[in-house]
Homo-oligomer: A and B are copies of this chain.
Amino acid sequence: MDFQSLIPELAKGLLHFTWGNGVMILAALALIYLAVFKEIEPVLLLPIGFGCLLANIPLAGMTAAEGMLGVLYEAGIKTELFPLLIFIGVGAMIDFSPLLAQPRMALLGAAGQFGIFGTLMLAIALGFPLNQAASIGVIGAIDGPTSIFVATKLAPELLAPIAVAAYSYMSLIPIIQPPLMRLLTTKRERLVQMEYAPKPISKRTLILFPIVLTLTVGLLVPEATPLISMLMLGNLLKVSGVVERLSKAAQNEIINIATLFLGLAIGATMTAKDFLNFDTGKIMLLGLIAFALDTVAGLLFGKLMCVLSGYKVNPLIGAAGISAFPMAGRLAAKTANDENPHNFILMHAMGANTAGQLGSVIAGGVLLAIVSKLI
């Protein structure tokens, strides 16, 4: 027994503290601050921030393979279980009837995914290898679980900055989108009123939709199956009306536990070594660009639909096609309403918004399919 060595042993925590740890702890505190005091996606940024804090306390061992956060990472991130379980819960909270009532709104959900590919090109131009560039691009899905799912498969080393960018910017949408809306549309376009008189959607339709969608997307884009199928499973649990027990479990215990553990485990990957480099800065910047590109592409496509329809489509709903449900839909409706207080395009915007959710998952699957073949 070596008793003399006790003293340095007892100060080891401080002795092993690096400036990198210090910077990362500041980053963790910033995330927690945003979550708690600015209420920016607190259910995710608070656990991520706390996980980051723990990962930067030297010798605590929580991020080691046998430490708690390491165990959670192995159990739920590496297996992709956590994002998929979250999707079951999200699916059980989504209402697809506005989209089913006006199926052509689906098109806007495709246009709003351009940011994914545009950002991928920019990332390649900045020198990122293809797998990393694709993972960065998928921030443009503007959908946390999709971004995490794709990044885990293609570039797990970038998981933390990608997740942080995806969730942080989500709350900045009310700041990012409105200027672009006003810049890219004319007053005449924003004043376009839309008639909302859809066929009623039967319960049968609502039940068949998640099943047929799973099959259609699954057969065309096998890589998108895990994400789309869990989203649709959650939705089926809800709309079927016969398994309220499971639907409630999906919306409560399953999503809550998965969210807490996912946040902690992702935050735990934010070590100085992996996070403190220029790449992280570039990723944060590219993520912001991805959000903007999505909005621009959605608006331009909206303008195209506006012209082609003879000014029957308000191009603002194009901005709702980016997913980010339901903020984007509400913003588009609000902007139109601000221009003319009698103009209500919320249901159209919500249709586009739900389509954006589906488009994001499909785009994520397409990206996975193409890129895993190429690398």
Task: Give the dominant DSSP class at A's interface.
Answer: helix
Name the one of B3, B13, B215, B220 contacting A221, with C-beta atoms under 8 angstroms. B13
Q: Contact between B240 and A46 (Cβ–Cβ < 8 Å)?
A: yes
Q: Looking at the complex, which one of B6, B47, B68 makes contact with A80 (CB distance below 8 Å)?
A: B68
A64 CB to nearest B CB, Å: 11
Contacts of A50 on B, CB cut-off 8 Å? 229, 233, 236
Is A339 interfacial (CB 8 A cutoff)?
Answer: no
Interface pair B373/A60, CB less than 8 Å apart: no
- Contact partners of A79 in chain B: CB under 8 A: 66, 68, 71
Query: Given B1, B222, B257, which contacts A57 in the complex, CB threshold below 8 Å?
Result: B222
Contact of A215 among B25, B240, B370 (CB under 8 A): B25
Contact B242 A249 (CB under 8 A): no
| Chain A 343-371: CB-based contact to B (< 8 A → 1; otherwise 0) | 00000000000000000000000000110
- A19 CB to closest chain B CB (Å) equals 14
Cα separation A57 to B223 with both chains bound (whole Å): 10
A218 at the interface (CB under 8 A from B): yes
A211 CB contact (under 8 Å) in B3, B6, B47, B53: B53
Contact B256 A10 (CB under 8 A): no
A90 to B243: give the CA distance in the assembly, Å: 17
Residues of chain B contacted by A257 (CB below 8 angstroms): 249, 253-254
Q: What string of 1s and 0s marks CB contacts (under 8 Å) between A1-37 and chain B?
A: 1110110011011100100000001000100100110
Question: Which residues on A are within 8 Å of B, measured CB to CB?
Answer: 1-3, 5-6, 9-10, 12-14, 17, 25, 29, 32, 35-36, 39, 42-43, 46-47, 50, 53-54, 57-62, 66-68, 71, 79-81, 84, 207, 211, 214-215, 218-223, 225-226, 229-230, 233, 236-237, 240, 242-243, 245-246, 248-250, 252-254, 256-257, 259-260, 264, 369-370, 373-375
